[in-house]
Amino acid sequence: MSYGHAEKIVRSAAAVPPAPPVDPRLFDSPEMRRILADRDVGGLFRAVKATGVSYRTIAALVGMSQSEVSEIIGGRQVLSYDLLVRIAQGLGVPRERMGLSYGAYAGDEAPQSGEVQEVTEDVQRRDAIAVGALATLGFVPSFSALLDNSAAPGEVPLPSRLGASDVTEIRNTTESLRASARLSGGQARTASAAAAHCRKLTAVPAAEQVTRSLGSALAELDELAGWCCHDAGLDRHARWHYRTAADLARRVGDDYRVASALRFAGLVDARRDNPNDAIKLYQLAGVKLGNRDADLRGWLNAVSAGALADMGHEQAADHLSRAQEAWQSTEDGWRADQNYQSALVYTKLGRLDVAEQLTASINGAGRHRPVGTFAGILRATIYVQTGEPRGLGMAKSAIESVAPMHSIRARERLEPLAKELESRPGSDYRELARMARQVSASRGGVNH
């Protein structure tokens, strides 16, 4: 912006806005348009008075005292944007006539009532000046006006043809969202919106190889969106994202992604005490995966072991052994997930000693904070259950670790800990149980 423009903005502070009477026809005359465009509030009040409206009535309409109205008529300037809006509303002045509304100019360039202002580059430049002046000086200059959301250019257009770089962009988006979700959970809104937006790319022409890569990338993003929704307690949304991920992967022949999505869909049922339905999904995933990918096969055996343990089935331990034999990944995050899943099953099988060792090995899980927090809760629950002296301190740390997290699952995992605390004698245990239930019931920190 040139200095000339800046000076013009400051000088326009001397221009005072008007406010017309009840009859809207008053605002249509060229003279009244000029008064309104200049924000000559004193002129506006005088024009309204000339139609038979008393100054006392004007004062009541605009929420002022009669003395304030008299001061404005006598030359006092009105520069406050909020006050100008109040005057316009009180007297029924169309805001666009004073350059206060969104989407129209004031003054000679103002469109007639009912006309649509074309959002040209010049309009956008004036809008930028209006926004800057409102933020800096507290009013909108008479030669500019604000635009509303109807002036937005709409969504960013899709490309005319997809390339490998577009698929890479989706994968990068997925990894960025995954990193945020692993840090403190949640992210359901962001991940779900990203998945819905990226899915629109399936309508764009692309080479066959790019189309296949796109389908796999979109399936992975929808799977992550499902995980985020599941973590935020939005099971219906989670199931939809998982089934969408499985279908996208099916269309491009990505058996791994089909199996992975079905595994996560089963976890929703298992969490909601439907282990029998969860087992069916795990079995379908296993059939689709076949002998490929040892780590995912191990996962399918591990979650199957958890569901079987919930059902009291004797084969739970056998499935867990198969899982531990199949897992090959040495990446810290994967190992933390695997050890926690094993610890859950051993807890259900009554092997608390083994479960405690596995949770201790996770040790916070580094950047995979939700898993580290889950493991801390489980370990504290075991210590309280077995009467270990350190249980009280571990329980307090576990409860405090959940409070700032954006995870419903973490809060739900406090319920067993609260029950164990309530079963122990002593006021310290009762106070921690109360804290655990309070955090568990709280949704203030949850970021959908």
CA gap 251, 99 in Å, rounded: 54
Query: Are residues 124 and 8 both part of a single domain?
Result: yes
Among 26-35, 238-247, 279-288, where is mean pLDDT lowest?
A: 26-35
**Average pLDDT for residues 153-161, to the nearest whole number?**
87
Query: Are residues 11 and 139 both part of a single domain?
Result: yes
Query: Are residues 135 and 262 both part of a single domain?
Result: no
Residue 34 half-sphere exposure, CB side, CA atoms within 13 Å? Answer: 2
pLDDT in tens, 381-432: 999 999 999 999 999 999 999 988 889 999 999 999 999 999 999 999 999 9
Query: Are residues 7 and 147 both part of a single domain?
Result: yes
312 belongs to a structural domain:
yes
89 belongs to a structural domain:
yes
Of residues 32 and 312, which shows the higher confidence score? 312
249 belongs to a structural domain:
no
CA gap 348, 206 in Å, rounded: 49
Alpha carbon 72 to its chain centroid, in Å, reads: 47
CA gap 389, 398 in Å, rounded: 15
Q: How confident is the model at residue 31 (pLDDT cuts 50, 70, 90)?
A: confident
CA gap 367, 133 in Å, rounded: 44
pLDDT in tens, 249-258: 999 999 999 9
CB contact at 8 A, 445 and 185: no
Of residues 11 and 203, which shows the higher confidence score? 203
Of residues 32 and 390, which shows the higher confidence score? 390
Tokens for 290, please give them: 């076949």
Please tell me whether the overall predicted TM-score, pTM, comes out greater than 0.75 for this model. no
Rounded percentage of the chain residues whose pLDDT exceeds 70: 87
CB contact at 8 A, 104 and 75: no
CA gap 228, 114 in Å, rounded: 46
Query: Are residues 260 and 136 both part of a single domain?
Result: no
Tokens for 77, please give them: 């300037």
- In the numeric block, the tokens 């969408």 are attached to 244
Q: How confident is the model at residue 357 (pLDDT cuts 50, 70, 90)?
A: very high
Last residue of a domain, one of 322, 345, 367: 322
30 belongs to a structural domain:
yes
**pLDDT of res. 118:** 65
316 belongs to a structural domain:
yes
Last residue of a domain, one of 297, 322, 347: 322
CB contact at 8 A, 37 and 58: no
Phi/psi of residue 74, nearest 5 degrees: -80, -5
Query: Are residues 129 and 265 both part of a single domain?
Result: no
Q: Which of 374, 323, 319, 388 is nearest to 349 (CA)?
A: 319
CB contact at 8 A, 210 and 161: no
188 belongs to a structural domain:
no
**pLDDT of res. 230:** 95
CA gap 12, 96 in Å, rounded: 17
Residue 310's identity, in one-letter code, is: D
Residue 229's identity, in one-letter code, is: C
Residues in the chain: 448
Last residue of a domain, one of 296, 322, 348: 322
Count of domains for the chain: 2
The domain of 48 spans 3-151
List, in sequence order, every residue forming a beta bridge with 146; answer none if it has no partner: 102
Of residues 217 and 137, which shows the higher confidence score? 217
Q: How confident is the model at residue 130 (pLDDT cuts 50, 70, 90)?
A: confident
CB contact at 8 A, 183 and 366: no
- What single-letter DSSP state applies at residue 115? P
3-state secondary structure of 209: helix
CA distances in angstroms from 56 to 45, 64, 65, 74, 85, listed in the order given: 11, 9, 8, 15, 19
Of residues 25 and 299, which shows the higher confidence score? 299
223 belongs to a structural domain:
no
**pLDDT of res. 16:** 41
**pLDDT of res. 233:** 92
pLDDT in tens, 97-128: 787 764 444 444 444 444 445 677 877 888 88
292 belongs to a structural domain:
yes
Q: Which of 219, 125, 145, 186 is nearest to 405 (CA)?
A: 186
